[in-house]
Structure 1
Amino acid sequence: HLHDLAAAAGQDGWKAWAYPISVDLLFVAAWRRLRTDGPSRLAWCWFLIALAASLGANIATAGLLDLSDVPAWLRILVAGWPALAFLGGTLLAHAPADHARVPDLAPEVERELQPVSEPDPEPDSVAVPSPEETPALPVAESTPIPPPAVPVPAALVDHARKVAADHEHRTGSRIDIDTLRARLGVPPHLADAIAAQLA
């Protein structure tokens, strides 16, 4: 139906066959975007545009339109369709890198960061030494205690490496901690631990 409508609108030869192919490819690109990235207004918009083009051709060639005398507005629409289909396919094929899906690692991170709680000892099982039995402890110099290392899942570190490499490829400079934290959606202390492993 799309071929017949395009041929009636002045597109002959291989150009008339390009119209059904372009509509089908637009369908496939929009559906793939919906399946991989979830609900998307952009994907639904181009899916409905391709659906309207396909159904419109079916209805128009079912006897509702005189194919020997195609109106001017339909000729303009058919002539502009290749550029419109190319724009839609390009927008669907090239998703922004900032919207890349981040693996759901929150439960794993939360499990590894959760402190292990030890049961409190029974009151009568603790022997309290008397003041005479308490040995005198030597006075030690106060030294700063380094903060405990934050465990980082290996999958999160691998994903952070990909994000950092993509940022350096696009901008030409190494990714800073604030940008890394925003891209990964992790708290500051976890972003610092990840950045230390990437250094």
Structure 2
Amino acid sequence: MLRTLRFDAVLIQAVIAGALSFAHLHDLAAAAGQDGWKAWAYPVSVDLLLVAAWRRMRTDAENRDAWLWFAIALIASLGANIATAGLLDLHNVPAWLRILVAGWPALAFLGGTLLAHAPAPEPQAPDPEPLEQPHIDPAPDLTVERVPEPAPELPSAEPAPEEPDEEAPPEPAPAAVPAPPAAVSVPPALLDHARKIADAYRVQTGASIDAATLRARLGVPAALADSIACQLA
């Protein structure tokens, strides 16, 4: 798809100003005795020096030499515009102006050489930012502490039971009472995590979580799961 041409007023104005300045420099050089192709080379030399100084100023704004040569080229261009505006008799050019026009090529060559070979400022590399190490939360240490089993109680001294009568039936022996499970110390972080799991289980099923399910969810030993279930009950 072809692009539509857009006329930029600033660009058109720059072209017109450059063409007029180019013509004035040519007329002044021709009036100062530089005829033929030499009269056309003068405006080219002035404009190239102006552009070279401008480019150096953009890359290094603190370069005083670039500002100096830009001012010299600008004065040469403005001087030609003013001189050819009727303030100077082009048929009788003064000697000092002929000297300036004749010495301009050497001056422009010196300025262009200094601008071309001036060292460019080295860009400062930004300091590398230290890489942030990913923060990994350490898993809570699961320590299972067993409470020492209590010492067996010594039988108290009781009077000897009376001999039962032969007619009375023998009394059944008392059933053995299972020992309570050993208490296990539960870390607070693990207990909080188990409480969240138990709450979620109660919301899903409507019932309290049992020790087996709690053990499967947490991946802890059976004794630790029983102790957590007792504390959550």
> Is residue 77 of structure 2 the alignment partner of residue 54 of structure 1?
yes
> Is residue 63 of structure 2 the alignment partner of residue 13 of structure 1?
no
Shift in Å, 1:53: 0.2
Listed as ranges, the matches of 1:94-105 within 5 Å are 94-96=117-119, 99-105=120-126
**Deviation per residue, 1:5-63 (Å, 9 max, x gap):** 10111100000001100011011101111122233211111111010000000000101
Unaligned runs of 5+ in 2: 1-23, 136-233
CA–CA distance in 2 between the matches of 1:104 and 1:38? Answer: 19
**Alignment RMSD (CA, Å):** 2.7
Q: 1:69 aligns with which of 79, 92, 104?
A: 92
The structure that is helix-richer by fraction is 1
Higher relative contact order (CA 8 A, sep 6+): 1
Q: Which amino acid aligns with 2:56?
A: R
CA–CA distance in 2 between the matches of 1:94 and 1:3? Answer: 29
Choose 1 or 2 for highest CA Rg: 2
**Deviation per residue, 1:132-180 (Å, 9 max, x gap):** xxxxxxxxxxxxxxxxxxxxxxxxxxxxxxxxxxxxxxxxxxxxxxxxx
Q: What's the TM-score, normalizing by structure 1?
A: 0.52
CA–CA distance in 2 between the matches of 1:7 and 1:73? Answer: 15
- Name the counterpart of 2:112: 89
- Name the counterpart of 1:80: 103
Identity score, percent: 76
Q: 1:4 aligns with which of 17, 27, 40?
A: 27
4+ runs deviating over 4 angstroms:
none
Q: Which amino acid aligns with 2:81?
A: N
Listed as ranges, the matches of 1:149-164 within 5 Å are none
Unaligned runs of 5+ in 1: 119-199
SS state at 2:93 partner: coil
